[in-house]
Amino acid sequence: MLGMLFNNKECKELDYVLRKELDEMLLDLNDSRLDGDIKGAIARRYRIIFRMYARIASPKELSRYALNARMYK
């Protein structure tokens, strides 16, 4: 197990970066031009980034990025 210490400014920056990455992946997942294999890879990465974001976000903020699990398998 690894741990990191962040000050308040660094925590806000990490929050911002993770939210922007999640937003970009949501756009890609809704893009009809991408095939299933690409969307599957994006969905796997989305789950990893989402779990990282879940460690620092409030439940209200987190609910904005929760996906319907059946939609992106």
Q: What is the pLDDT of residues 52-72, one digit of tens each?
A: 999 999 999 998 998 765 455
Q: Which two tokens stand for residue 22?
A: 């999640």
At 21 the pLDDT is 97
**Taking the CB of residue 25, how many other CB atoms lie within 10 A of it?**
21
Strand, helix or coil for residue 59:
helix
Contacts of 50 (CB under 8 A, 6+ apart): 22, 65, 66, 67
Show the low-confidence residues of the chain (pLDDT under 50).
Answer: 70
At 69 the pLDDT is 53
**Taking the CB of residue 33, how many other CB atoms lie within 10 A of it?**
6
Task: State the pTM of this model.
Answer: 0.83
